[in-house]
Amino acid sequence: VKLKDTAEKVVNAYGEALVELGSEREDMGVLDADLSADCGLRLFENAFSQRFIESGIAEQDMVSTAGGLALQGLLPVVNSFGVFLASRANEQIYNNATEKTKIIYVCHYAGLIPAGPGKSHQSVRDISLFGALPNCITLEPANAVETKEALIWCVNEATQSC
């Protein structure tokens, strides 16, 4: 078994997959909570600026915007850190889920992450909060390959929110 000598950057694979899918799907838009660099969204932002919505640090508003876009037949891909998206915007995500719209919620840096960001960025409730939502599939990819495949599946195959 040959071990890698460099760290894998899951966000790079995610950003590349967004651009590939964005090239194929003109109905797809990406929403960001002021974390574009941290979440690997810059490639999409630069390639499709007209389909990139910077929402600032306002996850509830971002999720509500995504709900409106989905009701108009668009496919929103919503991005923030897991700790902020799963908990802060949970009521809005629930409302969207009850409307049976398809929205992709990407909770970056879910679970326990290295100590640098501090306890406010530790997401220990994200999976349980999403698990309690109706009409929502929860996936937790483990690496760059799974991240890309999960995104492709959510965009092209899933019939409900991921």
Per residue in 56-96, pLDDT tens? 999 999 999 999 999 999 999 999 999 899 999 999 999 99
Cα distance between residue 16 and residue 114, in whole Å = 24
At 33 the three-state DSSP class reads: coil
Beta bridge partners, 68, equal none
Task: Note the pLDDT of residue 1.
Answer: 63
State phi, psi for 16 to the nearest 5 degrees.
-65, -40
Task: Note the pLDDT of residue 119.
Answer: 65
Task: Note the pLDDT of residue 120.
Answer: 67
Return the amino acid letter for 125.
Answer: R
> Which two tokens mark 99?
């409307």
Beta bridge partners, 54, equal 32
Task: Note the pLDDT of residue 5.
Answer: 59
Task: Note the pLDDT of residue 13.
Answer: 94
Spatial CA neighbour of 61 closest among 49, 46, 78? 78
Q: Is the pLDDT of residue 33 over 70?
A: yes
Confidence bin at 2 (pLDDT 50/70/90) = low
Average pLDDT over residues 23-48: 96
Average pLDDT over residues 113-121: 63
Is residue 150 within 8 A of residue 139, CB to CB? The reply is: yes
Q: Is the pLDDT of residue 7 over 90?
A: no
Q: What's the alpha-carbon Rg for the chain, to the nearest Å?
A: 15
Task: Note the pLDDT of residue 123.
Answer: 77
The β-bridge relationship of strands 75-81 and 52-54 is unpaired
Q: Report helix angle 10-24 to 144-156, nearest 10.
A: 30
DSSP symbol at 62: H
Of the residues 16, 24, 45, 59, only one is catalytic, namely: 59
59 is catalytic: yes
Task: Note the pLDDT of residue 113.
Answer: 67
Task: Note the pLDDT of residue 150.
Answer: 96
Task: Note the pLDDT of residue 116.
Answer: 60
Average pLDDT over residues 99-126: 79
